[in-house]
Amino acid sequence: MSRFFICLLPALIAGGCSLSAGVESGSPQGSLKVVTWNVQALFDGSQTGTEYSEYLNEAGWAEEKFSARVNAISRAIDRIVEGVPDILALEEIENPQCLEAIARGELSKYGYGWTYFSKNKGASLGLGVLSRIPFVDTRVHGIVWDQETAPRPVLELWLQPEDTPLVLFVCHWKSKLGGEDNTENLRRASARLILRRIREIHSKHPDMPTVIMGDLNENYDEFYRRGKRILSALLPDDPDAAGFIDTVPVGSEYAAGNREDFLILSEAKPPAVGYFDTSLPAFYSPWGQELRNGSYYYKNDWETIDHFLLSEQFFDQAGWDFSSCRVLDQEPFINLKGIPDTYNPHTGQGLSDHLPLMLILTNY
């Protein structure tokens, strides 16, 4: 029998929220732009012992290289065609100082006055958020499954731009390093955490829109990529996936009554469950709809592991509603081959092995 629990552990999680001095918050004026981007290991120039080997001082990594990289990341964000995001979630950030360096550098004119960062104690990298809008509330969720801790927490951020609230779950789920099947339990544990929190939120605020975002290390069609043989943390709302759930033996951890460690992805607007138990929520995924190709290029193939997953409340023309979503497959995020311009710490060239995603919401 599996042993799973969700925890808020101050000793495990290092988080923080700060207001940068001397800047003013942004005013979305009827629209809200949100970006998620795995920036591929943004380490500062100091050495604390948790850095990757290529980012050690003896390997040539230094404050100058860190500053140059921050400038390159900032210039790339400044060149986004739709304009800079109001909320920028960054995965693979070493510490709060990295966030502050971005907020107070070339992007300071946009007023990223609020930052939030968290990572597991002793971990190399965590998650950070830059915002032009104040946080109303923040939570950090640690995850332990069968005595194994997920490498990164889940951030829960409450905001109220234009007096219209919404909740963001910023994630960087467990990678497939160690085997895609062997690591699936921790990704499902992350999904279970989020589902539990969304149920708790909607029990008190039934109209609250919620976004699940970040690098989930799962493709939107993961179930099919793996031959319909494994219960993945992301499942399509179709007969094959629903039928697979029904074949799970009675008494297993995925038997009836304990089926809330996966997210159901819907192509409908608003998202709705058509084949699963209707008590389970569905989330709209722009992949296969607005989003094509992928955001991560691995072994000569595109993957769709970066996500925005939206609850049904974003499609009711009341409050914040879904407007558009796209992969930022433009220069300088891509190279001449049209794939992510991966960063090389030895040469100092490139940006990241992931492309950012941008979500635009409209306030009705």
Copy the structure tokens of residue 275.
Answer: 């084949």
> Which pLDDT value is given to residue 248?
65
Selection from 344, 351, 350, 346 nearest residue 59 by Cα:
346
> Which pLDDT value is given to residue 34?
98
> Which pLDDT value is given to residue 210?
98
User: How buried is residue 24: exposed, middle or buried, by Cβ count under 10 Å (0-12/13-18/19+)?
Assistant: exposed
Q: Return the DSSP state at 129.
A: E
Residue type, 199: R
Give the C-alpha separation, 107 to 99, whole Å. 11
What fold is seen in the domain 4-218+303-363?
Deoxyribonuclease I; Chain A (3.60.10)
pLDDT in tens, 135-188: 999 999 999 888 889 999 999 999 999 999 999 999 999 999 999 999 999 999
> Which pLDDT value is given to residue 249?
59
Using alpha carbons, list the distances in angstroms from residue 121 to 91, 138, 320: 16, 18, 35
Copy the structure tokens of residue 223.
Answer: 């179930």
Q: DSSP for 202-230?
A: HHH-TT--EEEEEE-SS-TTHHHHTTT-S
Domain residue spans of the chain = 4-218+303-363
Residues in the chain where the model's pLDDT stays below 50: 1-27, 254-257
Give Cα 59 to chain centroid, integer Å.
Answer: 30
Give the C-alpha separation, 62 to 137, whole Å. 35
Q: At what angle do helices 63-78 and 96-103 cross, to 10 degrees?
A: 50
> Which pLDDT value is given to residue 347?
95
Give the residue carrying structure tokens 């907020």: 103
Selection from 247, 249, 225, 248 nearest residue 236 by Cα:
225
> Which pLDDT value is given to residue 53?
96
Instruction: Please name the helix (run of DSSP H) or strand (run of DSSP E) that holds residue 172, with its range, or none.
Output: strand 166-172
User: Length of the chain in residues, anyone?
Assistant: 364
Partner residues linked to 32 by β-bridges: 361
Instruction: Please name the helix (run of DSSP H) or strand (run of DSSP E) that holds residue 301, with its range, or none.
Output: strand 301-303
Give the C-alpha separation, 137 to 142, whole Å. 17
Give the residue carrying structure tokens 């502050």: 100
* 114-120: strand order across its sheet: 13-19, 114-120, 126-131, 87-93, 31-42, 357-363, 320-327
Q: What are phi and psi of 109, to 5 degrees?
A: -65, -15
Copy the structure tokens of residue 288.
Answer: 């296969």
> Which pLDDT value is given to residue 316?
95
E strand segments, 49-131: 87-93, 114-120, 126-131
